[in-house]
Amino acid sequence: MTTARPSGPFRVGDRVQLTGPKGRLHTITLREEGELHTHHGVLRHSSLIGQPDGSVVAGSGGHEYLALRPLLRDFVMSMPRGAAIVYPKDAAQILAEADVFPGARVVEAGVGSGALSMWLLRAIGEAGSLVSFERREEFADVARANVETFLGRSPGNWRIELGDLAEALPAAVDPGSIDRVVLDMLAPWECIDVVADALTPGGVVVCYVATATQLSRVAEYIRGTGLFTEPDANETMVRGWHVEGLAVRPDHRMVAHTGFLVWARRLAPGAVAPEQKRRASKSSYSDDDVELWTPGAVGDREITDKNLRKRVREAQRAAAGARMASAREDDDDTPTA
């Protein structure tokens, strides 16, 4: 698997993030004859090609631009989205809590826009494998195109399976063959039984959920199976700081909530975890409570079909550019006789 080079001088086909006057951001894909037109003038792509990453170049109006290759976190925050993405702060925690390691055999669902897929692919490396399940074909198209745009091609150790995880997983992987499972979906509790079958003893399942009611339901479901260790849960709040001279203080604004993580490990077949001391009255729930956990009550915001088709086109255009650039790079690397 060749991946987009994250370093070295800029070449045709590279995506470059330009920070212009007053901090305005533009992302361009370098072309021999390409030009960026703004009300500050024209910046020719040729002035960047061959320059080192982190260069400063001037446009026709004399305005200077700082040029950097986008990091993965920059890319996922600006790529076309079909569904809400896992933010970088949560992706980092998922990799840590799920203990995703080089060579791991990982399953994720749903693939959504492919943000988490890219972090997982990085963490497992070329020796690992990732199977991403998605029940909506258009989302899978957006994810595939986003991954291709970032990596320059679709990696050979990644595949997307279309369908509902609960139905598709048993046919797609052997029982006990998966090291890690990450669920980012509205109703992860519907998939826990098949996940338990797919996981190897000691394997980890991590669920990323947006609301406390989902968190509660999936944790209770995991606990109720008796097939996992006691579930753990947390959320990650990242507060930026303003650090300038003597003005050193937290930022005034922050992203206060994205989601919660809940995770547990698969017990060996037939193993029964030692009893935990719990007060039944505090942990039991009724049918009325279950109503609060339904998809309608937790408020799933759906993208319109028209908007989704637009995102698919955007993502596929970017992927086609990246494929051409990657093919050109392969040609350049081919030794000549």
Ligand X SMILES: C[S@@+](CC[C@H](N)C(=O)[O-])C[C@H]1O[C@@H](n2cnc3c(N)ncnc32)[C@H](O)[C@@H]1O
Chain residues binding ligand X by CB under 6 A are 83-86, 109-110, 112-116, 133-136, 139, 164-166, 184-186, 191
Q: Are 106 and 182 in contact (CB under 8 A)?
A: yes
43/106 with CB nearer ligand X? 106
What sign for the dihedral angle of Cα 195, 231, 208, 71?
Answer: negative
Q: How far is the CB of 42 from ligand X (least distance, A)?
A: 35
Asked if the peptide bond before residue 110 counts as cis, ω within 30 degrees of 0, the response is: yes
Length of the chain, please?
337
Q: How far is the CB of 84 from ligand X (least distance, A)?
A: 5
In terms of phi and psi (left: phi > 0; alpha: psi -120 to 50; beta: otherwise), the region of 225 is alpha
Q: How far is the CB of 277 from ligand X (least distance, A)?
A: 34
Nearest to 3 by CA among 182, 166, 153, 171: 153
What sign for the dihedral angle of Cα 184, 188, 190, 196?
Answer: positive
Burial class (CB in 10 A: 0-12, 13-18, 19+), 3: middle
Q: How far is the CB of 186 from ligand X (least distance, A)?
A: 6
**What residues does 207 pair with on adjacent strands?**
183, 262
Distance CA 98, CA 31 (A): 40
87/228 with CB nearer ligand X? 87
Q: How far is the CB of 143 from ligand X (least distance, A)?
A: 7
67/79 with CB nearer ligand X? 79
185/322 with CB nearer ligand X? 185
Distance CA 229, CA 264 (A): 5
Burial class (CB in 10 A: 0-12, 13-18, 19+), 254: exposed
30/187 with CB nearer ligand X? 187
30/109 with CB nearer ligand X? 109
67/130 with CB nearer ligand X? 130
Q: Are 198 and 177 in contact (CB under 8 A)?
A: yes
Q: How far is the CB of 52 from ligand X (least distance, A)?
A: 31
Backbone angles phi, psi at 46, to 5 degrees: -60, -25
Q: How far is the CB of 334 from ligand X (least distance, A)?
A: 35
Q: How far is the CB of 330 from ligand X (least distance, A)?
A: 28
134/329 with CB nearer ligand X? 134
Residue in the structure block whose two tokens are 């790079």: 329
75/139 with CB nearer ligand X? 139
Q: Which two tokens stand for residue 244?
A: 């300038």
Pairing mode, strands 105-109 and 178-183: parallel
Q: Are 187 and 297 in contact (CB under 8 A)?
A: no
Q: How far is the CB of 170 from ligand X (least distance, A)?
A: 13
